[in-house]
Structure 1
Amino acid sequence: MSKPLDVVMNDKTHRFEVTLGGETAFAEYVLHNGAMVLPHTVVPPAFEGKGVGSALAKAALGYAREHGLAVKPSCPFMAGYIMRHPEWQDLVHEDFRERLGLAA
């Protein structure tokens, strides 16, 4: 994908969203007690391989970093993204570090 994706933080739906061609990919979030829970990510098949999932992850994790939030990645996609990108691993909440195989 040549142009940057426009990721929007939708406060009403509690999702980071990317809309392309009438379809929306999203990463749900819940803000709770100084943490951002990331429970679910949906990327429609038409978006696969276009960097949409990565853009959603970067937006969510970037928001968490900017606001001093620990991240609780209960979504397998988000957990996998964090495992593949060590620059985000310092954000992982202590309760989730062991399940991701990260040092305490």
Structure 2
Amino acid sequence: MDVNIVHEEKYQQFTVTLEGDEEAELAYARPSDKEIDFTHTFVPESARGQGIAQKMIEEGLCFARDKGYLVIATCPVVAKYIARNKQHQDLLK
């Protein structure tokens, strides 16, 4: 499935617009200038199992790496993704 991920810095989230005006989101907070805390991942039930959350998380982690941010993974889905993808573990605070 091809997904279009939009980074909405104003709202501190990465979003994917789905059919029927539903949205998936990866929300974050910025506790400091050098940190990003991924706080919440949501994918509507009708779109689960298609890898949308993983794609949003990957996009968020690439953004963090590009900006030089340390990552806090408050969201358990993000924490699990990082644990399974060792190439991102160096980002963890």
* TM-score (normalizing by structure 2): 0.92
Equivalent in the alignment of 2:92: 92
Amino acid across the alignment from 2:24 = A
Matched, 1:63 2:66: no
Give me the whole-angstrom Cα distance separating, in 1, the residues matched to 2:28 and 2:63: 11
Bigger Rg, which one: 1
- Cα distance between partner residues in 1 of 2:44 and 2:65: 27
Residue among 10, 13, 18 paired with 1:12:
10
- Measure, in 2, the Cα distance between the counterparts of 1:12 and 1:23: 19
Give the alignment of 1:45-84 within 5 angstroms.
Answer: 45-84=45-84
For the residue of structure 2 that corresponds to 1:63, the secondary structure is helix
**Distance in 1, Cα, partners of 2:36 & 2:92:** 10
Give the distance between the partners of 1:43 and 1:60, measured in 2 at CA.
15
| TM-aligned CA deviation for residue 91 of structure 1 | 0.4
Q: Counterparts of 1:20 and 1:33 in 2: how far apart (Å)?
A: 32
Distance in 1 separating the partners of 2:83 and 2:47: 22
RMSD: 0.9
Gaps of 5+ in 2: none
2:27 maps to 1:28: yes
The structure with the largest helix share of the pair is 2
Aligned residues: 91
Per-residue CA distance 1:23-70 (angstroms, 9 max, x = gap)? 100011112230111111111111111110011101100000001000
